[in-house]
Amino acid sequence: MPPSAPRTRPNVVEPPTQDRLIADALIADIVEWRIAPGAWLREREVAQRFGVSHAPVREAFRHVARVGFIQIVPWRGAHVIDLDAHAAIEVFELWKALFGVICRMAAQAFNPADGQELLKRIEAFKTIVRETPDTLAHLAVSNSIGSFIAHRSGAPMASELLDRVALFARWQHHVLRVDYLESIKPRPGIRSAELYEAVCHHIVRGEADAADRAARELLAFLQKHFEPALDQFLAERKAEPAKRRRPPRA
Amino acid sequence: MPPSAPRTRPNVVEPPTQDRLIADALIADIVEWRIAPGAWLREREVAQRFGVSHAPVREAFRHVARVGFIQIVPWRGAHVIDLDAHAAIEVFELWKALFGVICRMAAQAFNPADGQELLKRIEAFKTIVRETPDTLAHLAVSNSIGSFIAHRSGAPMASELLDRVALFARWQHHVLRVDYLESIKPRPGIRSAELYEAVCHHIVRGEADAADRAARELLAFLQKHFEPALDQFLAERKAEPAKRRRPPRA
DNA sequence: TGACGCCATATTATCGATAATATCCCCAAA
DNA sequence: TTTGGGGATATTATCGATAATATGGCGTCA
C-alpha cells in the first residue's frame, strides 16, 4: 500500500481564505478527474463558478501550479498538465527516493515513544490485512502510517515533496485504482505489510541506511504491481485527441 | 562539486512579466543574503521598491513560495524561512536522493549522442580540476554537467525538485562557500571528479542502479566536506535573536 | 499586580475597471 | 493552393480603491 504524506503540515495553520478554498477545490477536481488532463482553465469561468472576482482565482492558480498540476503560461492562461506513461515512471521513482529519505531521517529522529506508537500501528495494519480482504481499508491504514512517519521524521521539506508526489500518484492511479486493486492476485496486502513492517523496525532501531533501503524495496514491490495496469491505461488513452493549444472560444 | 539543475526548463519559454521579474529578483536577494532569513516581506514596501502596484508583488510572492524560500501566512504576510542545521542535513539528503533519481533515469534515457557529449564534458572537468586550483571554476563546470544530465534525463519533475533543492543549498552555503572551499584540504576537486566520472560512465552504459548509487556516493563525499563548516556556521548564528512574529511597525 | 476584553491601526484580501498581449480569422498576393 | 499580413477579439496583467482581518496597546476589573 503506498504511503502518503500529510496534506497539511502539522505546525502551520492555514486560515481558509478564498484562494486556498478555490485551490483545494481545483486540486480535488483534477485528482478526481472531474477536470481532464490537458484542459485549459479560464479565470473568468472559474471565478463565476465560485462566485468571486478573478483575483482570488489567480491566486488559486498559483497554489495549484505550486503543487504541479497546472502550468501557467503568461498571457495565455493555465492548463492542466497531461498524463503519460513516462511521467508515471518518474513519479514512482521520486516516490521511492523521497519515502526513502523520510524513513532515513525518521530513523534518526524517532524517540522511544514515537517508536512504540509506530509499532502499534504496524501491528494494527498487519491484523487488518490478515483479517479483511478490503484493499481500500488496507490503503487507508497504510496511508495513515506513512503520514505518521512523515510527521515525526523531522524532514518537513521532504514531507512536502512526498505529499506532492503522492497527490500525483493518486491522480494517475485514480481511475484504475479501485478496479485494479480488487482484481490483482495475489493481493499485495500481505507482502506489503511484511515489507512495511521491516521499514518500521529499522526506523525504530535507528538504522537509517536499512530503513532507506527497506522503504525503497516496499515501493519497488508496489511499483511492480501498479505499472502494468497504468501502462495499459495510458496506452489506451493515447488514442484521444491532443490537447488544444488554447481554450476554445465562446 | 555539487551538480545543479537548470534554472529554467528547456521546453518552456516564460515571457518576462512583472511578477516573474520581481520573483527572480527576490529569490536572488534571498540566496545572496541581501534579505536575511526570517525577515518579513511587506507587499507595499516591495511594490514601492520595484515601482509597481501591489498585485504583481502578490503574484511574485507566490512564485517565491513555490520555490520554498518564503512562507505566506494569510492576513499576516510573507516571511523568509529560517535556517537551521537540521534543515541543512535534510537538504543534503534530498539532494542525494533526487540526483540519484535523475542519474538513474538518465541512464535509461541517454542516447549515444548524449553519452558522447557527457563524456566530453567530464573529460574537460577532469582536465580543469587537474590543471587549475580554482575551486570556483571547478564548481561552474561541475554545475554545467549536472544541468546537462538533468536536461537530458527525461525527468522534468525530478529536475525541477532538484533545482529547488540546489537553490536551497546555494542559499545555505553562500556565506561560507568561497572561504570554505578555498580553505579545506585536501581539496575535494580530484576525488569528486573521479566520483563524477563514475556516475557519467554508468549513465552512458545505461546502468541505472549503478548510476543511482554512484550519484549518491558523489554527494555523500561532498556532504562529508561541507557539513562540518555548515554546522559551525549555523551554531554561531544561533546566538542571534529569533525572528519577529510580525513585521515591525512604521 | 495580573488577566481579560475592547478598540485603533496596520496589513492583507478582494473587487471592478483599464491596459497590454497573443491568437484567430479573413483577405490578398504569389 | 499556399503563405503572409492586418485587424478584431478574447484573455490575461496591472492598477487603484474598498472590505476584511490580525495584532498590539490601553483601560478596566478581579
Judge whether residue A249 has pLDDT over 70. no
The confidence score (pLDDT) of residue B184 equals: 60
The confidence score (pLDDT) of residue A187 equals: 66
Q: Which three cell numbers stand for residue A81?
A: 498538465
Q: What angle do CA B224, B228, B229 make, to 5 degrees?
A: 120
Domain ranges of chain A: 18-82, 85-237
Rg of the Cα trace of chain A?
19
When pLDDT is averaged across residues B5-19 and rounded to a whole number, the result is: 50
Judge whether residue A8 has pLDDT over 90. no
Q: Which of B59, B65, B90 sits opposite A66 (nearest CB)?
A: B65
What digits encode the pLDDT tens for the residues B54-86? 999 989 999 999 888 999 988 888 999 988 888
Q: What angle do CA B2, B30, B76 make, to 5 degrees?
A: 135
pLDDT confidence tier of residue A243, bands split at 50, 70 and 90: very low
What digits encode the pLDDT tens for the residues A46-64? 999 999 999 999 999 999 9
The confidence score (pLDDT) of residue A247 equals: 56
> Please, where are the H alpha helices in chain B?
18-31, 43-50, 54-67, 85-109, 112-131, 135-152, 156-183, 189-205, 208-237
Residue to substitute from B58, B76, B161, interface A, most A β-carbons within 10 A: B161
Judge whether residue B125 has pLDDT over 60. yes
Q: Which long-range contacts (CB under 8 A, 24 or more apart) does A10-17 make?
A: A10/A151, A12/B71, A14/B74, A15/B74, A15/B75, A17/A56, A17/B74, A17/B75
What digits encode the pLDDT tens for the residues B151-206? 999 999 999 999 999 899 888 877 665 556 666 655 667 888 999 999 999 999 99
Rg of the Cα trace of chain B?
19
Query: Distance between CA B112 and CA B204 in Å, rounded?
Result: 8
Residue to substitute from A161, A168, A213, interface B, most B β-carbons within 10 A: A161
CATH of domain B85-237: 1.20.120.530
User: In the A/B pair of chains, how many CB contacts fall below 8 A?
Assistant: 89
- What does chain A come to in residues? 250
Residue B73 DSSP one-character state: E
Shortest CA gap B132–chain A (Å): 36
State which fold the A18-82 domain adopts.
Arc Repressor Mutant, subunit A (1.10.10)
Q: Which three cell numbers stand for residue B237?
A: 548564528
Give the range among A122-126, A133-137, B212-216 with minimum mean pLDDT: A133-137
Q: How far is the CA of A82 from the C1' of C13 (A)?
A: 32
**A90/B157 CB distance under 8 A:** yes
Decide if B98 touches A, using CB distance below 8 A.
yes
Q: How far is the CA of A76 from the C1' of D7 (A)?
A: 20
- Cβ contacts (< 8 Å) between A20 and chain B: which residues? 74
When pLDDT is averaged across residues A162-177 and rounded to a whole number, the result is: 82
For all residues of chain A together, what is the average pLDDT?
84
- Cβ contacts (< 8 Å) between B62 and chain A: which residues? 59, 62-63, 66
